[in-house]
C-alpha cells in the first residue's frame, strides 16, 4: 500500500507519516522545497516525473496568515486557497486512473475553522470550508469506484507552532475549554486519520470528523477553574 502525504514536515503531518510507516505503508511525502503546493504548474511537473499510484492521499499541508479581511491581498488570499485545497484537487486528478481501477482513500485535514471562524481568518476559513466541500464532492464522484473520502478537523493541537504562537496561560485556557481538559496531541489526530484512511474503513465517506475533545460542543461555557 502506498500513501501520499502533504505537510509531513509539520507536527500533525509528521505524526500521520509515522503511523502509516508503522502500519507498513510505503510513504511518499515531498517537502515544500520539492513540491510547491501554491504553484499548480509545479504540481503538474512533479507528477509528470513521479508515479501517481497511491492507495491513500492525505492532504495535511496548510497555509495560514491571519489578517483582517480588508487588509488581505488577493495574492495572499489565493495562496491560501491553492495550498489548502486547490492543490489537493490537482493531486487527486493526477491519481484519478489509479483510484478508478483500485479504489482507495482521501483524507483532508480541515480545522475548526471549516465550521466556525474568528477575526482575521477570512482566507483560512474560506479555504477550510472549501476543503470540506471539495472532499464531500469527491466522496460522491469517487464512491462508485470504492474511494472513501473524508476530512478530519482538529481543534487545538499541541504542536511546536501552537506552542510558539500561544503563551502558556493561553494554552492552559484553551485546554480547559475541552471536556477532556487537555490539548490534542498530534498522535490523536493521526489516529483519527488512520481510522478513516485504511481498509478497515469500508463505509464511512463524505464526513468531517471533528477531533477537538468536545471544545465546540461546550465552548460557550465559562472556563472551569
Question: Which residues face 210 on adjacent strands?
Answer: 153
Grid coordinates representing 78?
Answer: 489565493
Q: What is the pTM of this model?
A: 0.94
Sheet containing 147-154: order of strands: 26-28, 2-6, 56-59, 104-109, 147-154, 208-211
Per-residue pLDDT tens for 104-153? 999 999 999 999 988 989 999 999 999 999 999 999 999 999 999 999 99
Q: 78 versus 174: which is more confidently predicted?
A: 78
In the chain, % of residues over pLDDT 90:
86
Contact 170, 158 (CB under 8 A): no
DSSP state of 170: H
Virtual CA dihedral for 10, 11, 16, 22, nearest 10 degrees?
110
As a whole number of angstroms, the distance between CA 188 and CA 200 comes to 18
Phi/psi of residue 142, each to 5°?
-100, -5
- Residue 163's pLDDT is what? 85
Pick the CATH number of 2-156+186-217 from 3.30.70.2190, 3.40.50.720, 3.40.50.80, 3.40.50.300: 3.40.50.720
Q: What is the set of active-site residues? A: 124
Query: Angle CA(70)–CA(72)–CA(76) in degrees, nearest 5?
Result: 165
Residues 6+ apart with CB under 8 A from 132: 108, 110, 114, 151, 153, 208
What DSSP line would sit under 11-70, residue for residue? HHHHHHHHHHHHTT-EEE---TTT--TT-HHHHHHHHHSS----SEEEE-------B-GG
Per-residue pLDDT tens for 145-189? 999 999 999 999 998 878 877 789 988 998 999 999 999 999 999
Amino acid at each position: 500500500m502506498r500513501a501520499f502525504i502533504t505537510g509531513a514536515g509539520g507536527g500533525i503531518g509528521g505524526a500521520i507519516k509515522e503511523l502509516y510507516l508503522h502500519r507498513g505503508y510505503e510513504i511518499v511525502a515531498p517537502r515544500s522545497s520539492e513540491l510547491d503546493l501554491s504553484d499548480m504548474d509545479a504540481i503538474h511537473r512533479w507528477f509528470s516525473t513521479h508515479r501517481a499510484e497511491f492507495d491513500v492521499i492525505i492532504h495535511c499541508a496548510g497555509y495560514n496568515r491571519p489578517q483582517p479581511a480588508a487588509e488581505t491581498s488577493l495574492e495572499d488570499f489565493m495562496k491560501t486557497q491553492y495550498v489548502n485545497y486547490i492543490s489537493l484537487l490537482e493531486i487527486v486528478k493526477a491519481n484519478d486512473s489509479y483510484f478508478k481501477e483500485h479504489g482507495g482513500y482521501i483524507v483532508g485535514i480541515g480545522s475548526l475553522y471549516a465550521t466556525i471562524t474568528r477575526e482575521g481568518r477570512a482566507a483560512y476559513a474560506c479555504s477550510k470550508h472549501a476543503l470540506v466541500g471539495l472532499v464531500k464532492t469527491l466522496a460522491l464522484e469517487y464512491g462508485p469506484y470504492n474511494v472513501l473520502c473524508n476530512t478530519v478537523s482538529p481543534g487545538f493541537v499541541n504542536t511546536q507552532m501552537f506552542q510558539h504562537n500561544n503563551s502558556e496561560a493561553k494554552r492552559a485556557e484553551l485546554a480547559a475549554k475541552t471536556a477532556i481538559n487537555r490539548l490534542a496531541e498530534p498522535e490523536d489526530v493521526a489516529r483519527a486519520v488512520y481510522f478513516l484512511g485504511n481498509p478497515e474503513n469500508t463505509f464511512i465517506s463524505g464526513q468531517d470528523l471533528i477531533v477537538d475533545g468536545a471544545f465546540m460542543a461546550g465552548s460557550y461555557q465559562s472556563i472551569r477553574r
